[in-house]
Amino acid sequence: MLYWLYRQILLSEPAIPPRLPILAPKRQHVLTPSPSHDNLHATAKSAFFQQLPLELRRHIYIAAFGKRTIHMDLRFDYPEPPGLRHARLKGDCMHERERSELARWRWWSSVCHRNPLLECWLDQCRTGENNATCFLFPGEWPDKCFLGVMGWLLACRQAYLEGLDVLYSTNTVHLSSIVLTRHLPLLILPQRLVSITSLELLWDLVLFRPLPDHQADQETGWPAYQALVLVVASAFPNLRKLHISIQTGSYVAKPFAEYIESHERKLLDPIDEMVRKIGPQLQDCQIALPYSLHTALLPRAESVGARVESGGRGALSWRQFWRSVTAEQDEQSQSDLGYWVRRGVDDMPLTCS
């Protein structure tokens, strides 16, 4: 039902990119068939499946390919020459990407190797630029940058069923592609999205200045923002951790201070509804706003008695305030439903900084 609903909502919009590899309404082969006696005969003589209980097998799965941050990306691009990312990591110069193949939609993923002290919007695993921390992780490149789970998932049906659950439910999924995030329910099976419990999202949008044409507005303007919030609220009902970094495309200068209240309502009211819909199991929710916007909103939050926290030093310093979305009839409950609004990417002009 959820998959059909998204097809009705999203496929009716003209903004869907051409040739996007969406799932077919009716698949030729069932990707996750229910197990049967005939299909599980391959594990009948397996000591791993027959002698180890599921709890121990799950611990092994988690140690092998769980509890990491995993990049998932889909871009319309040319193929990446072999060794390009490694050369960037080493600081070497390489020529522009080869044009021997046509540009097309390309999937990409890796294990995140950014400095754990850095926020998600400072991640550069996708490009490999200035990300020397990759060399600090054990293993040999490029194998250490990938989970290497595909061989296990293809081993047999039971390995696929048990491994896939750990893959989606224990890892943090990092998404920076607007197209992928916006159309995610058309690209990945709903039961996989329901399994995800931890999510990092980077939304690079243009919200507070006019865009040159309607198509750009659909892709990076307010319609895109509203669609992204809808996807998160509807496709991930079991989230326990959600970090979103929102870039608005322009900094909020002092002459526009009179519009800050409308900016706050238009930007954060949809987030309020999203958090309410996900519910109290969302234990760690952080929304990072650009420096200028956060700086303008912080005094407003302090004036109404919101909790404010700060920490770190220098470039790693941070400030955040709590935005409660608890309904009035639930104010007597012990849990305070809401999220932290953090200071995000520095969007201030150099002269202001």
pLDDT single digits (tens) 213-231: 666 777 888 999 999 999 9
Do the domain assignments include residue 316? yes
Query: For the chain, what is the domain count?
Result: 1
Average model confidence (pLDDT) for the chain? 82
In this prediction, residues 26-37 reach a mean pLDDT of 60
Do the domain assignments include residue 142? no
The continuous run of DSSP H or E covering 287 comes out as strand 284-289
Do the domain assignments include residue 315? yes
Do the domain assignments include residue 210? yes
The whole-angstrom separation of Cα 53 and Cα 188 is: 30
The whole-angstrom separation of Cα 269 and Cα 76 is: 32
Coil, helix or strand for 122?
helix
Of 206, 230, 209, 232, nearest to 219 by C-alpha is 206
Question: Does residue 133 surpass a pLDDT of 90?
Answer: no
Coil, helix or strand for 199?
strand
Query: Structural domain of residue 284, as residue ranges?
Result: 177-353
Banded pLDDT at 332 (limits 50, 70, 90): low
Give this prediction's pTM. 0.85
More reliable by pLDDT, 301 or 349: 301
The whole-angstrom separation of Cα 203 and Cα 216 is: 15
Please name the residues in contact with 309: beta carbons below 8 A apart, sequence gap of 6 or more. Answer: 319, 320, 321, 340
